[in-house]
């Protein structure tokens, strides 16, 4: 995070936030802040007093950020290098962050909002995800080979992002799908698994299809449906080719 531009947006969070690391809740607070370091999603910041100094070991790791102290996170025999940033408020654009610290999301074993675990990053309270059943006619081709054709898509609308089309498995050329080892995570949808597509001529297109075995509750309607990476395939909706 570099604070060379506008100051980050900061808002109080009304939720109880806990951070689990090596069997300890190193943070358990009602005083968390949501901080937008960029436009896409917020991060959690905490008052310095919410993380015991017994879990911190100051390091000389360089950040290139003025007014930032860096600490290793240490619990028992486990440590995460440069996992905690403390903001002193002395750097340009960081004045409003003075007295706050940030724990790198990926180093913790779990993050909880109240008693619900969250994944990847905090959800943005100003964004939403809607899944709507549709009767649009959607066809998908890869290099001239039709790989999906449906009148029963489910459309996923996510604020500021491209609409994604989820297609029933029965409307997809499953004989062309090859399991991939790739997985990705989304805080709104859950863990996605992927397929490669192998065309009849032997040509393989990697990770152009994904699906959620068990989607998060707010997106439960897409569980088991398949989405194609529209930017890498050809898609027609009601006869109109999509750009």
pLDDT tens profile 138-184: 999 999 999 999 999 999 999 989 999 999 999 999 999 999 999 99
On the question of pLDDT at 235 being above 90, the answer is yes
Share of the chain above pLDDT 70, in %: 94
What confidence tier does 6 reach under pLDDT thresholds 50, 70, 90? low
Task: Report CA-CA distances (Å) from 21 to 25, 28, 61, 115, 170.
Answer: 6, 12, 21, 16, 43
Phi, psi of 128 (to 5 degrees): -145, 165
C-alpha 99, offset from chain centre: 27
Structure confidence at residue 39 (pLDDT): 84
Structure confidence at residue 147 (pLDDT): 98
Structure confidence at residue 90 (pLDDT): 79
Comparison of pLDDT for 34 and 58, the residue scoring more:
34
Sketch out the chain's domains with CATH numbers.
9-118 (2.170.150.40), 129-241 (2.170.150.40)
Q: Which residues make beta-bridge pairs with 114?
A: none
Average pLDDT (103-124) is 96
CB atoms within 10 A of CB 49: 11
On the question of pLDDT at 4 being above 50, the answer is no
92 burial type by CB count under 10 A (0-12 exposed, 13-18 middle, 19+ buried): exposed
- The whole-angstrom separation of Cα 214 and Cα 205 is 25
What pTM, to 2 d.p., does this model score? 0.83
């Amino acid at each position: 995070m570099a604070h060379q531009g506008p100051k980050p947006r900061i808002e109080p969070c009304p939720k109880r936030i806990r951070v689990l690391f090596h069997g300890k809740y190193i943070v358990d607070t009602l005083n968390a802040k949501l901080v937008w370091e960029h436009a896409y999603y917020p991060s959690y910041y905490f008052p310095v007093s919410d993380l015991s100094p017994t879990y911190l070991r100051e390091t000389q790791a360089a950040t290139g950020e003025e007014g930032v102290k860096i600490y290793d996170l240490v619990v028992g025999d486990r440590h995460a290098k440069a996992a905690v940033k403390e903001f002193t408020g002395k750097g340009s654009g960081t004045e409003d962050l003075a007295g706050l610290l940030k724990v790198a999301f990926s180093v913790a074993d779990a993050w909880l909002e109240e008693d619900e675990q969250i994944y990847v990053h905090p959800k943005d309270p100003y964004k939403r995800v809607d899944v709507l059943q549709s009767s649009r006619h959607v066809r998908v081709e890869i290099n001239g080979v039709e790989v999906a054709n449906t009148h029963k898509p489910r459309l996923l609308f996510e604020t500021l992002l491209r609409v994604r089309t989820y297609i029933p498995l029965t409307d997809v050329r499953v004989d062309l799908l090859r399991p991939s080892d790739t997985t990705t995570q989304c805080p709104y949808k859950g863990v996605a698994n992927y397929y490669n597509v192998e065309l009849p001529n032997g040509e393989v297109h990697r990770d152009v299809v994904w699906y959620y075995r068990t989607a998060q509750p707010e997106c439960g309607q897409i569980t088991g449906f398949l989405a194609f990476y529209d930017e890498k395939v050809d898609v027609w909706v009601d006869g109109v080719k999509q750009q």
